[in-house]
Amino acid sequence: MVSMFLWKQGKFQEFLRLVQKREKRGYDSYFEAALEMPLEKIIPLWKSYLAEVEAHRAEIMRWPPSGILKDEPAFQQFIKVYGIPVSVRKDEG
């Protein structure tokens, strides 16, 4: 869930980069460093994310937990069949 939260915040790639470089930017964790704020400021965002997940729980539970697809057409069919919304973050795409 943390990975998805970071992705929704547009910070997943930054998180991976920081972990790879072992760079915390003065924060206690890579998580805080990627979000560029202390945990106290992240908590309200996290709670909001959890509320969003709970609001869409039934829909999310219909999705398969994971999948490996052979190509882009297979991926497009997969998201169509399961009704999975997909968007590319402008800072990650």
Residues of the chain with pLDDT under 70: 87-93
Cα–Cα distance for residue pair 67/63, rounded to 1 Å:
10
Q: Could you read off the pLDDT of 30-46 as tens digits, one per residue?
A: 999 999 999 999 999 99
Q: CA 56 → CA 49, 75, 79, distances in Å?
A: 11, 22, 17
CA distance 60 to 80: 14
What is the spatial distance between Cα 79 and Cα 83, in angstroms, rounded to a whole number? Answer: 6
Backbone CA torsion sign across 38, 86, 79, 16: negative
Question: Would you state the pLDDT for residue 16?
Answer: 97
